[in-house]
Structure 1
């Protein structure tokens, strides 16, 4: 348990698990809606084509079909999404609810069928005939930036939808004076989120009240409500968003997607409840993709490997549509790239391309490539200068004497411990002993590798960060705590859980602030009529923004409870009182003693006998709180990984994996451990197996789980977790947040470990995923130069 806390830090089982593991959860498909209509979408077989004609006559005559609707129909029912924040180098974009003139990726929804059941709707959708004029598809960043490239968005001047640069200090001068300039390249492939529960929604328009009830699994219910109301021409008081239990999201369930808006518009148009659930192929093909980057670094270094200057180029493939401002994710990577190292001379160039692929969005750790690029650059320096990679890290790492540290982009690092976690990981993995085993194994024809990756994980994203980064949005959170007349404690916050296990740790934050048991607190989320307006779950902000706000609100509640208790005890003030486990205690001598008064007694007086309350205290115990956290909080960790690569098959086995981590104050160690394990597993799965593949014509070749592979426990090792928690001094209870650093570290550490293993064969990992086929291809390419070195 964390020092000084009684509820925060308890290893409590997740409250929601009782219903979830016994099959009593209520997901979208468990919600009955008698008479609901079902929607099926007609999707484009082409990546890039003009829509010449849509013939829906046959489908419209089929039994059970209520109607067939196209982009032109929906354009009359909804407004268009225009993204035009005032950011230098960002082209404004606008899109209709469904395409009207042309499709931009394989799987683009061009029409939809509404029928009395899902099967009839899907059968009818296959009978809608669309005539296309096929266009040349843009399927890579290089093609997008080619002088003769076809325009993905005809309203733009080019496929370069976003372009930003920054130079701090004098990187060119550092390059001129450097002992060596080291260049490195990194390419992260396209992923998708693969939540267990695909996207879906149930819209129910009440024509009498002119009110829309929208049931949808979503991470940000209030921002979604705002978007939905705006796109439908309604006020926010006319829309209620309700999120039931959600079977995973990982960033995929943030945006208001075109399909969901279509369903809501059709419910209003038809005055009937309308529902939609995508199948797995639709999810893999059309929901949202992420992470397709190409990065290049040029590092000016001294003889000891000290980094004098760093220059970074990032190109991102954003797909065919912008559901977020196109600078959104790549800009964050550039802002935090220098991470755990002392670097002041820094320049970056960020370019974002539109291509004929599914649109991109955030995925758990949208800045996932950051640590691989920085740590891979460190390893490149060590290789080029023939230095120990651990020593190069030590030479450059931030230590306690450097903090708080202002990164060249203006980001402030404080209360982080990158040097300490590095040393913990190095000691635990025993680098010297590993090198001896590695040398012995190589003499036997076996190839072992060791990877290290130190992570600085951005978590909270306060409003100040969004403003300084030129990204529209707010980072505040809101909460309420209400003590009922019986003493029961209810609370709510604007987050929405999608499997993280929020209910226990958020209850612990309330319980700690108020002075009750966590078991006696109920947290309500996911209903915009109940929860206060908050910014939802994204970016690892749940603990700091959500838990922190609830903690502050509970402190406010405790202050009034103790004031009332003091009056009930005929005391002048509450200075010598506290509440523990719902019981009022008083300091008598050097000891806290119960006084025979409980929260239930205080609550009863507050609600049912308000005339005897102290002067200035209103009836009831109902409290609200808003909190805008620091611009950014950071957690940190160092990952270490031992691998063996089979040269004959290209197979990679992970022999050991450990992480030394600093996540600040831990609300619930069970939940934090689960989040770390899940994040590492997701990172390794993406680095080793997962890949969205398009061919040269823009056809998605990976739209089934037979083609898009996800790691199972058979492919993943045990994870050793070492703790080194340092509270953040500027957040409530010292909370930092965590949940995405495991992805960042896993991607970087596995790539570095495989590079280390294959160094004698002349192979350096520059592109992921690390499939057996890709490893064999790299070995074949490197074979001639490797043989020359062996002969010499």
Structure 2
């Protein structure tokens, strides 16, 4: 499949959707006017953990414009409880109400919903709702959660350990016992949040006469979202339409059906009127899903050359208060793929996921983001301990091309990746040997330069078999349809949910090359459950392989039928010598392709309006449907190199240069891929340097509830990204697509951290937690300067 010549796939064309988005003609939730819509505002808990004693709504109900106020007891009558209980060994089932009825579990937990004639009146009334609480001790850290005497976050569970998985592959103990050295490293990743430009919001409109709910919401997974929404409302899926218009970013935050959205839908049904809700920025920082908070410890057995003999990984993840996803989901993926492009046969992992009085966790762009930092940071630790060059340690452990496909210790199969080539490419681009010489000279001059290298293997398309082997409920298949209209115009759809990825461009290219038309003639329709086929939506990096691949295969199916009709109309026995190029039917005569008298519009006209002229066995019309199950997992890979200078006086980090060599297979759209790379790297660097959702250790109060406290990198703090395309196709996917979108986050976290460690290595400082703030680094530097013979961490 990967050897075909492409006309539009890989062509450098502007994004089709940018014309409307950049001129203010995008259509987001707030741009949609619904006559007579009421507005919702939520009353939120000021406490991290407390019993709800009484909700006094009297004063608020008397305010002008207030229509109604509802609590968790009302919602319990109208909706079902959410139950997360996949049959996974070591994972405990969790249930939760739509709104809490007995106690709140984090600061910002929604306690009541005020409905008023406009948003301002609803917000004013929400402030007048009086809630009496009995404050309980809060669980604010993962270590508090694991304590035997810790308060229980979920009273239905025996303790706060939500999930625990352990596995041993090979002879880890034997390799440890016979090793030259066993080296231990730790990595602490801090809690972050997704921070989309467009916060969460929705419009629910219950049609009493048709008994049908039209629900408009920015979501990455329209069909699974509809399935869950309908079930929670006790409706059939045919009674619910989910429509996702333009969406201002998701990054994983817009996958789950959240309690606020379900509440708005249920209230619309009760009132028989449209109800809308828009989360403000403070609510987004306080109460939307969060991610990333985990602690990892590695123990690695090595020989004298730094060759890894065994790896033992421990992960503890803080999952927050509620389970919108299986508790094992995020950390388990890290454990399954952490060995990356390296030859490691003996491997063990232990993964604990705990509950705390914080916002519930969800996947954030690269939910396995810590993976590369853990593996690459471990190899850097080996190099430091043994006095070896970090690149040399990578080379001795890296899989050779002749060893691929390679079955990892966990059973995952690594195929069609090129880590040797990308690492060589990025090292050549930065001039690694010369850079080491410059680093030594700079250090002699009192300047602290650091070089960080991070090789990334990014899991992209999670097929159904992967979910099953990981013990995670879910499907990885995708569905598409293509309809060629009587005029020859092409409409296409797939079950993805666009949140800014440029799907209308990249997917149009896939259809165009699969069929033989111009992308300008292809309209891609997404995000409407009454129009799009039932697909699994956008998560991870499945848009290219699952979405683009399915559309490409469906377009090829359409092309076969179109050419069969053309052959019949031209009086040919078959279509072997025909092709469709830019909507023109061409015939090969000897070694030349020449236009025939037929175009796609001619064939479409016959298919719809003159069906008796069709060949035998061909039905009228040109509509095509196809479902596709991708491989269990596809991987792309990249190598990141980061050069930094750390200011010894302040601890500030300046990124001097950032270079990436990337292999993500066949590129549907270079513009889209470059944008994905820039965005992912920026997110990784911003998260590593600045972003931090911080909770008070005693009370569980969120100390970062505004953008004055939750800092985000701007263009001023980020370097120029140098991108080196080194793409090779995947041999088992349509068109050779591998997918990409999250590896940039993974690489940025690892490359930056490794570079900072390299800059401070002469002090004996080891950076093992993020964010890499000047205060944190300056503290380590001071400690190292006071105790020059002791390693600081």
Report the TM-score, using the length of structure 1 for normalisation: 0.99
- Length, aligned pairs only: 790
Residues 129-173 of structure 1: per-residue CA shift (max 9 Å, x gap): 000000000000110000100000000011000000110001000
Counterpart of 2:701 in structure 1 is 699
**Given that residues 567 and 575 in structure 2 are in contact (C-alpha distance below 8 angstroms), is that contact kept between their aligned partners in structure 1?**
yes
Residues 259-292 of structure 1: per-residue CA shift (max 9 Å, x gap): 0000000000100000000100000110110000
Counterpart of 2:746 in structure 1 is 744
Counterpart of 1:669 in structure 2 is 670
Counterpart of 1:77 in structure 2 is 78
Distance apart, 1:255 and its partner CA: 0.2
Residues 613-659 of structure 1: per-residue CA shift (max 9 Å, x gap): 11100000000000010000000000001000001111100001001
**Given that residues 541 and 741 in structure 2 are in contact (C-alpha distance below 8 angstroms), is that contact kept between their aligned partners in structure 1?**
yes
Counterpart of 2:67 in structure 1 is 66
**Given that residues 99 and 110 in structure 1 are in contact (C-alpha distance below 8 angstroms), is that contact kept between their aligned partners in structure 2?**
yes
Counterpart of 1:470 in structure 2 is 471
Rounded to whole Å, the distance in 2 between the matches of 1:786 and 1:241 is 62
**Given that residues 541 and 737 in structure 1 are in contact (C-alpha distance below 8 angstroms), is that contact kept between their aligned partners in structure 2?**
yes
Counterpart of 1:314 in structure 2 is 315
Give unpaired runs (5+ residues) of structure 2: none
Give unpaired runs (5+ residues) of structure 1: none
Kindly report the root-mean-square deviation, in angstroms, between the aligned alpha carbons of the 2 structures: 1.1
Counterpart of 2:39 in structure 1 is 38
Counterpart of 1:233 in structure 2 is 234
1:305 aligns with 2:299: no
Rounded to whole Å, the distance in 2 between the matches of 1:649 and 1:451 is 21
Alignment of 1:351-370 (within 5 A): 351-370=352-371
Counterpart of 2:734 in structure 1 is 732
Rounded to whole Å, the distance in 2 between the matches of 1:3 and 1:557 is 17
Distance apart, 1:788 and its partner CA: 7.2
Rounded to whole Å, the distance in 1 between the matches of 2:751 and 2:327 is 28
Distance apart, 1:584 and its partner CA: 0.2
Counterpart of 1:687 in structure 2 is 688
Rounded to whole Å, the distance in 2 between the matches of 1:702 and 1:9 is 42
Distance apart, 1:40 and its partner CA: 0.4
**Given that residues 636 and 665 in structure 2 are in contact (C-alpha distance below 8 angstroms), is that contact kept between their aligned partners in structure 1?**
yes
Distance apart, 1:296 and its partner CA: 0.1
Q: Which of the residues 708, 711, 714 maps onto 1:712?
A: 714
Rounded to whole Å, the distance in 1 between the matches of 2:313 and 2:300 is 9
Residues 395-438 of structure 1: per-residue CA shift (max 9 Å, x gap): 00011111000001110010000111111111111111111111
1:119 aligns with 2:120: yes
**Given that residues 2 and 665 in structure 1 are in contact (C-alpha distance below 8 angstroms), is that contact kept between their aligned partners in structure 2?**
no
Distance apart, 1:781 and its partner CA: 2.6
Rounded to whole Å, the distance in 2 between the matches of 1:582 and 1:786 is 72
Residues 168-193 of structure 1: per-residue CA shift (max 9 Å, x gap): 00100000110000100000000000
Distance apart, 1:2 and its partner CA: 9.5
Residues 574-594 of structure 1: per-residue CA shift (max 9 Å, x gap): 111000000000010111111
Rounded to whole Å, the distance in 2 between the matches of 1:656 and 1:779 is 23
Counterpart of 1:199 in structure 2 is 200
Rounded to whole Å, the distance in 2 between the matches of 1:420 and 1:612 is 55
**Given that residues 762 and 785 in structure 1 are in contact (C-alpha distance below 8 angstroms), is that contact kept between their aligned partners in structure 2?**
no
**Given that residues 766 and 791 in structure 2 are in contact (C-alpha distance below 8 angstroms), is that contact kept between their aligned partners in structure 1?**
no
Three-state SS of the structure 2 residue aligned to 1:639 is strand
**Given that residues 784 and 791 in structure 2 are in contact (C-alpha distance below 8 angstroms), is that contact kept between their aligned partners in structure 1?**
no
Counterpart of 1:168 in structure 2 is 169
Three-state SS of the structure 2 residue aligned to 1:89 is coil
Counterpart of 1:140 in structure 2 is 141
**Given that residues 204 and 214 in structure 1 are in contact (C-alpha distance below 8 angstroms), is that contact kept between their aligned partners in structure 2?**
yes
**Given that residues 760 and 786 in structure 1 are in contact (C-alpha distance below 8 angstroms), is that contact kept between their aligned partners in structure 2?**
no
Q: Which of the residues 764, 769, 772 maps onto 1:770?
A: 772
Rounded to whole Å, the distance in 1 between the matches of 2:778 and 2:693 is 20
Three-state SS of the structure 2 residue aligned to 1:197 is coil
Distance apart, 1:449 and its partner CA: 0.2
Distance apart, 1:789 and its partner CA: 9.6
Distance apart, 1:785 and its partner CA: 2.7
Three-state SS of the structure 1 residue aligned to 2:245 is coil
1:591 aligns with 2:592: yes
Rounded to whole Å, the distance in 2 between the matches of 1:639 and 1:585 is 45
Counterpart of 1:430 in structure 2 is 431
**Given that residues 41 and 126 in structure 2 are in contact (C-alpha distance below 8 angstroms), is that contact kept between their aligned partners in structure 1?**
yes
1:758 aligns with 2:760: yes
Rounded to whole Å, the distance in 2 between the matches of 1:207 and 1:690 is 45
Residues 450-507 of structure 1: per-residue CA shift (max 9 Å, x gap): 0000000000001111111000110000000000011110000000110111101100
Three-state SS of the structure 2 residue aligned to 1:633 is strand
Identify if the C-alpha distance between structure 1 residues 2 and 687 changes in structure 2 by more than 3 Å, giving closer, same or farther: farther
Three-state SS of the structure 2 residue aligned to 1:715 is coil
Alignment of 1:408-423 (within 5 A): 408-423=409-424
Three-state SS of the structure 1 residue aligned to 2:186 is strand
Q: Which of the residues 781, 786, 789 maps onto 1:779?
A: 781
Rounded to whole Å, the distance in 1 between the matches of 2:64 and 2:19 is 43
**Given that residues 490 and 522 in structure 2 are in contact (C-alpha distance below 8 angstroms), is that contact kept between their aligned partners in structure 1?**
yes
Counterpart of 1:578 in structure 2 is 579
Counterpart of 1:88 in structure 2 is 89
Report the TM-score, using the length of structure 2 for normalisation: 0.99
Rounded to whole Å, the distance in 1 between the matches of 2:613 and 2:489 is 22
Rounded to whole Å, the distance in 2 between the matches of 1:768 and 1:177 is 34
